[in-house]
């Protein structure tokens, strides 16, 4: 039995994203009888973060490139006046005594971090440094130099002051943004130190936390919660191209063909109304199919 699509899983705290994938793979191995079924997640959630974990099944896993960069929404708590070695609650406190910012100071600082900004990922992260994960280098006593990179934050909304030194925020950002780094940099801009004391992911693209399913629900009715590739793609603002009949044979056999009015970047390719592949425009204006899903 072949099954392709997405499931919007609620990942609890205390579980790695990879362990969540293993659970889902086990469910669909048993359901389909396919021991080699492909299963992968779209955007890692750290073990101490709960919320939306979008998981792709079968050929849908090939669409990771176009979905991994889609926007995410988080509810985050930043604690000011102290910080930890991991920039979250997993590490020991390494500095205390910084000032606690006022609501007015926070509101005045937010605009500095909206739009495209430079961000240095945390030392304890899965960033590759010369082929080695940064967190492995740190745990072996090294201090890797992690280059900054551009990330995009659509907005930051101050929600409430939770207690004397902790505020909660809603943050909408593009894939690749580290909220732990944002907490560090935000505190620095306020003249203090801080860390991310809680985080929940409430949305990935158009997949909302209100639609998530638990592993128990998924195990009880595996097919009920699978969102087809076609239906899932309709939730995203991704350009589409209908494959013309006159060049279909060559393109479907892996031969790029000249095609007019192709968008830049990755886009979805349909043929006779069916979603069949990702596509991109070559330097000489040809349509190239990649990551076939049909």
pTM attached to this predicted model = 0.85
Average pLDDT over residues 132-141: 48
Lowest-confidence pick of 34-38, 83-87, 290-294:
290-294
Domain holding 210, by residue range, is: 5-70+206-233
pLDDT of 293: 79
Give per-residue pLDDT as tens, 203-257: 998 899 999 999 999 999 999 999 988 888 877 778 888 888 888 888 888 889 8
141, 248: one domain = no
Give phi and psi for 105, each to the nearest 5.
-65, -40
Give per-residue pLDDT as tens, 64-92: 767 766 789 999 999 999 999 889 998 88
pLDDT of 129: 52
Give per-residue pLDDT as tens, 178-197: 999 999 999 999 999 999 99
Average pLDDT over residues 263-289: 87
250, 180: one domain = no
- The model's confidence at residue 126, banded by pLDDT at 50, 70 and 90, is low
216, 135: one domain = no
Average pLDDT over residues 119-146: 57
- Inform me whether the pLDDT recorded for 100 exceeds 70: yes
pLDDT of 144: 57
Question: CATH number of the domain that 268 lies in?
Answer: 2.30.130.10
48, 170: one domain = no
Give per-residue pLDDT as tens, 154-178: 999 999 999 999 999 999 999 889 9
pLDDT of 68: 65
pLDDT of 19: 95
Mean pLDDT of the chain: 88
Q: Enumerate the active-site residues.
A: 46
- The model's confidence at residue 108, banded by pLDDT at 50, 70 and 90, is very high
252, 183: one domain = no
Whether the Cβ atoms of residue 86 and residue 66 lie closer than 8 Å to each other: no
Question: CATH number of the domain that 9 lies in?
Answer: 3.30.2350.10
Give per-residue pLDDT as tens, 5-28: 999 999 999 999 999 999 999 999
pLDDT of 138: 45
Number of folded domains in the chain?
3
pLDDT of 62: 79
274, 256: one domain = yes
């Amino acid at each position: 039995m072949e099954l392709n699509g997405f499931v919007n899983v609620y990942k609890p705290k205390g579980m790695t994203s990879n362990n969540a994938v293993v659970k889902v793979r086990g469910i669909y191995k048993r359901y389909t009888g396919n021991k080699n079924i492909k299963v992968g997640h779209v955007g890692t959630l750290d073990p101490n973060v709960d919320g939306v974990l979008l998981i792709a099944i079968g050929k849908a896993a090939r669409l990771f490139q176009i979905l991994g960069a889609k926007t995410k929404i988080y509810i985050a708590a930043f604690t000011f006046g102290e910080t930890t070695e991991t920039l979250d609650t997993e590490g020991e406190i390494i500095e205390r005594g910084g000032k606690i910012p006022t609501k007015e100071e926070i509101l005045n600082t937010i605009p500095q971090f909206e739009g495209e900004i430079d961000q240095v990922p945390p030392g304890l992260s899965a960033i590759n440094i010369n082929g080695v994960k940064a967190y492995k280098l740190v745990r072996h006593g090294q201090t890797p130099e992690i280059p900054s990179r551009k990330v995009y934050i659509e907005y930051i909304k101050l929600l409430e002051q939770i207690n004397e030194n902790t505020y909660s925020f809603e943050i909408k950002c593009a894939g690749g943004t580290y909220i732990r780094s944002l907490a560090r940099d935000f505190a620095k801009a306020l003249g203090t130190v801080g860390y991310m004391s809680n985080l929940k992911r409430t949305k990935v693209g158009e997949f909302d936390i209100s639609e998530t399913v638990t592993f128990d629900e998924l195990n009880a009715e595996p097919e009920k919660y699978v969102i087809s590739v076609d239906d899932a793609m309709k939730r995203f603002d991704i350009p589409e191209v209908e494959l013309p009949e006159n060049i279909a044979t060559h393109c479907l056999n892996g031969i790029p063909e000249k095609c007019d009015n192709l968008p830049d970047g990755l886009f979805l390719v349909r043929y006779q109304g069916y979603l069949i592949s990702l596509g991109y425009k070559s330097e000489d204006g040809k349509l190239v199919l990649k990551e076939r899903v049909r």
